[in-house]
Amino acid sequence: MDNDKSKSIKPDFSLDMRGYFCPEPVFRTRQKILEMKDGDILEVLADDPVAEEDIKSWVKKTGHDLIFFNKTEKSLKFFICKIK
């Protein structure tokens, strides 16, 4: 995947959910987004394979913008921009 793109994105907040399992990563992502301002970017790190579909689905359903996603053998990285 394109790791260079993630280096150019400057998140306003970071949420490390490595070691947490469903539904905690998507639940805490939702909580953090609610605290943020429109246009803020949240970086979410996770290692639960289920988090990929959960977070992508939640972002789509809520209308926020998944501006970057990267998956390696051991981790997932999301950059989500808060919309509305």
Tokens 């359903």 appear where? Answer: 61
Q: Which of the residues 13, 18, 20, 22 is marked catalytic?
A: 22
Residue 40, judged by CB atoms within 10 A of its CB (0-12, 13-18, 19+), counts as middle
Q: Other CB atoms closer than 10 Å to residue 70's CB: what's the count? A: 14
Catalytic status, residue 22: yes
Strand ranges inside 12-51, DSSP E:
13-16, 41-46
Active site residues: 22
